[in-house]
Structure 1
Amino acid sequence: MLKSYVLAGALIATLSGAALAEKMMNRTTDRPSGAMDRSTTETTGAPQFLTTLPQNALLVSNIHEQNIYDPQENKIGEVKDLVVDRSGKISAAIISVGGFLGIGKKDVAVAFSDIKAAERNNKWWLTINATKDELKNATGFRFDKNKGLWTLGGK
């Protein structure tokens, strides 16, 4: 449960970073109503409270522990974790592949940008342009509980 909250916070940080980048790109243009100006908060370090969120946003809860499919719609794994870099961008997804009831499974890392999401029957459908065998043959990772991070060395 705590992991889900941490992932949700990371997604919010990512979205906030995107909003800041858009603001910087559109500095000279008129701001739409409801847009927030960070100029008053940048000197105090106070948080920026949002009044709107992107309508087509993908939530961490729509990704975390969801099945992932190949282009032929075969289930090839499950998203186990998301890796957020220091700038707040989700850089990788950890996908668990293979095994039965957790025995013989392998965790691999893929670039988050390689995962595509579409909405089907009011549920998010995640795909990646890879086969189950390609994921099984990829470099494995394992979660180091002492360090609290993913390291090379999975099966």
Structure 2
Amino acid sequence: MKALIVGSIVAAGMIATVHAAETMSAAPAESWTVTNYYKQSVYDPKESKIGDIDDVLVDKSGKINGLVIGVGGFLGAGEKDVIVPFAAVKTAKKDNKWWLTLNETKDGLKSAPGFKYDKASTTWVPDNK
């Protein structure tokens, strides 16, 4: 019984040590939050709204590699989700607010392949409509 208690205390101490080693004392320099992208509007070069970012795609190493943009439709009905490379969306500051821009038009994205979210696999899959 003593060995079980001692083992539990040692294991708890190891978990606490691992947790402490995975924290940071400050936010990384030049870091942005997902909030700067998620649910934000995206505009074309002429400042016409293309759509809104519905999801941020992260690879297994933690790098953001894609953004899901909902285009078309009205109040969410008839909307099409497309995926663009993260690097394709540029940031600009206008009127003290961050703007997201994409060198593409809404009509151009409407003709791009569509995707739908599959809850079972928790991934975006081609929408074969």
TM-score normalised by structure 2 residue count:
0.78
> Cα deviations across residues 100-126 of structure 1 (Å, max 9, x unaligned)?
011111000000010111223332210
Identity %: 47
TM-score normalised by structure 1 residue count:
0.66
1:134 lines up with 2:122 in the alignment = no
Q: How far 1:154 sits from its partner (Å)?
A: 5.6
Unaligned runs of 5+ in 2: 1-16
Q: Which residue of 1 aligns with 2:63?
A: 89
- Whichever of the two has the greater Rg, that structure is 2
Q: How many equivalent residue pairs?
A: 112
Runs of 4+ in structure 1 deviating by more than 4 angstroms, as ranges, are: none
Q: Which residue of 2 aligns with 1:71?
A: 45
Structure with bigger strand share is: 2
Counterpart CA distance in 2 for 1:102 and 1:79 is: 12
Q: How far 1:56 sits from its partner (Å)?
A: 4.2
Q: How do 1:1-155 and structure 2 match up within 5 A?
A: 47-54=21-28, 56-153=30-127, 155=129
Contact 1:118 1:124 in 2 (8 A): yes
Counterpart CA distance in 1 for 2:104 and 2:42 is: 10
Partner AA of 1:102 in structure 2: G
